[in-house]
Amino acid sequence: MVTVDWYAFTPWSALIGGALIGLAAALFILWSGRIAGISGILGGLLRPAEGDTLWRVAFLGGMIVTPLLWQMFDRLPAIRIEAGYPMIIAAGLIVGYSTRLGAGCTSGHGVCGISRLSPRSLLATVCFMATGFLTVYVVRHLAGG
């Protein structure tokens, strides 16, 4: 049985935030003709090619600057990172390698790929959701973490 934590559930901010993410992806494909997939945009910086770097830096820079702009108007929403440093490093290495191997992450496959009805991205999303659920189950409920 699944117990929903209704107290933590934030349907409106989730939907509005999600729509903003979709809007960013829409802007990028319609105006720039590119997929807003973060792992691909970041990973591409490691294969520098003429004229292929600046737009990546602009997109990623925009994401990094967002919280700084937010702070000029309001307090930032809570960001709680429970994992310790060894876990953070392991997770980062795995996410970096795997998203390049699988050619996408939550944004490229989960948002853009599903939006263009790509069977590859649908399968990728099912795969990372499944191991995501499984990993948290193992860490929190089996390993006693």
| Closest approach of another protein to the CB of residue 50, in Å | 14
Using CB under 8 A as the binding rule, whether residue 137 contacts another protein is answered as yes
Q: How large is the greatest C-alpha to C-alpha distance in the chain, in angstroms?
A: 54
- As a whole number of angstroms, the distance between CA 94 and CA 82 comes to 18
Using CB under 8 A as the binding rule, whether residue 52 contacts another protein is answered as no
Using CB under 8 A as the binding rule, whether residue 69 contacts another protein is answered as yes
**In this chain, which of 49, 72, 73, 112 binds another protein, going by CB under 8 A?**
112
Using CB under 8 A as the binding rule, whether residue 53 contacts another protein is answered as no
* Residue with Cβ nearer another protein (50 or 101): 101
The count of residues interacting with another protein (CB under 8 A) is 113
Contacts of 57 (CB under 8 A, 6+ apart): 45
CA distances from 67 to 70, 71, 101, 108 (A): 5, 6, 30, 22
Using CB under 8 A as the binding rule, whether residue 48 contacts another protein is answered as no
